[in-house]
Structure 1
Amino acid sequence: MKIYVIYNYGQYNHLIHRTLRDLGVETKLVENTTPVEQLKDVDGLVIGGGPSLDRTGNCELYLKELDVPMIGICLGHQLMAKVFGGEVGKGSMGGYSEVKVRIVEDDELFEGIPREITVWASHMDEVKKLPEGFKRLAESDICKIEAMRHEKKPLYGVQWHPEVYHSQFGVELYRNFIEICKK
């Protein structure tokens, strides 16, 4: 099992890598300028967070050209929405915050995770409108699209940072993503 983490200059990308490694996955933190051809043999990708949609390198190509499960974290979630025709804009509350997220749709990504969890958010922007072909999986009082997934492909996005200590059930979420990648 090989799942790579795309480094988008985010402060927590190394924690995603560490979480996957600790779960027994062959993983590597790779630059977002890595050519698509060098990622053809992975079983899944995590599109990590970062400071700006303008600094996501080849991530749009990865989303369009690679046929593997992917999960976008924070900026990766926003980029996924934008690439597939959704809208991203300023959130009602920026910066760092503890957020209560409600799971509103059953999905294998949230298998074994309670319907309400406390997570750590660190963002200024958010997905404002779902792309066509995606469905909302989670919401909060400050963000209506906390998580989403493509209706037919294994493409997921979460606005929060499951890899940080403050987020409840983050390891379980990554474990569930690994199981999705095994299919």
Structure 2
Amino acid sequence: MKELKILVVNNYGQFCHLIHRAVRDLDMDTKIIPNTTPIEDILAEEPDGLILSGGPEMDRAGLCFDYVREIDLPILGICLGHQAIALAYGGHVHSGKKGGYAEVEVEVLEEDDILRGLGPKATVWASHADEVAILPEGFIHLARSDICEIEAMRHPTKPIYGVQWHPEVSHTEKGEELLTNFLEICEKY
């Protein structure tokens, strides 16, 4: 795979630097940017894809809603990034049944490009303080768990994906595979 440039959008989550390191460790050019970076500045970087990090609260998601609606690049939302994608396209987010970080067994409903090689089940590290409650219209439901019905989703026509769990942490089985799948999506786009 050629070296790609992936921008990691910092939503003030505690694992943002782990996302950066995980992508860098896959021999990619990566950079953390504030979630207030203007779209024209992002495009000037000529990235191959964006990863929206997790974060503590939606009020601090900066311009993420604009990014997912207006930037024509592959986008992966992790945790809060996943929720921001859902909200940007008309989905709903609510408080999770089980808050805090925990090991969760995820059932892959549709393998798709982003979850290729992860199923049928994977043990992941997730936070469910908030979660996507209703998919945006037309979005594809990719994975679920016993504590969160919408663990993963994708846009019906654009390369925009969201996962509730954290593929960047070592506790997540096949987290590197998910990130590699995203990089392959970026390379093909």
**Fold match (TM-score > 0.5):** yes
CA RMSD of aligned residues (A): 0.7
Correspondence for 1:11 among 1, 10, 14? 14
* Number of matched pairs: 183
Correspondence for 1:44 among 46, 49, 57? 49
2:65 equivalent to 1:60? yes
Q: Could you say which residue in structure 2 is the equivalent of 1:126?
A: 131
Correspondence for 1:29 among 29, 32, 50? 32
Q: Could you say which residue in structure 2 is the equivalent of 1:178?
A: 183
Q: Structure 1: which amino acid aligns with 2:111?
A: D
Residues of 1 paired with 2:111 and 2:62: CA distance? 32
Identical aligned residues as a percent: 57
Q: Structure 2: which amino acid aligns with 1:6?
A: V
Shift of 1:64: 1.3
TM-score (norm 1): 0.98
Q: Could you say which residue in structure 1 is the equivalent of 2:81?
A: 76
Q: Could you say which residue in structure 2 is the equivalent of 1:88?
A: 93
TM-score (norm 2): 0.95
2:90 equivalent to 1:109? no
Residues of 1 paired with 2:157 and 2:122: CA distance? 26
Structure 1 outlier segments of 4+, above 3 Å = none
Residues of 2 paired with 1:78 and 1:166: CA distance? 21
Q: Structure 2: which amino acid aligns with 1:172?
A: E
Q: Structure 1: which amino acid aligns with 2:27?
A: G
1:138-157 Cα deviation digits (max 9, x unpaired): 00000000000011100000
Shift of 1:113: 1.9
1:114-165 Cα deviation digits (max 9, x unpaired): 3100001123110000001201000000000000001110000000001001
1:81-114 Cα deviation digits (max 9, x unpaired): 0010000001111111110000001201112223
Residues of 1 paired with 2:84 and 2:104: CA distance? 21
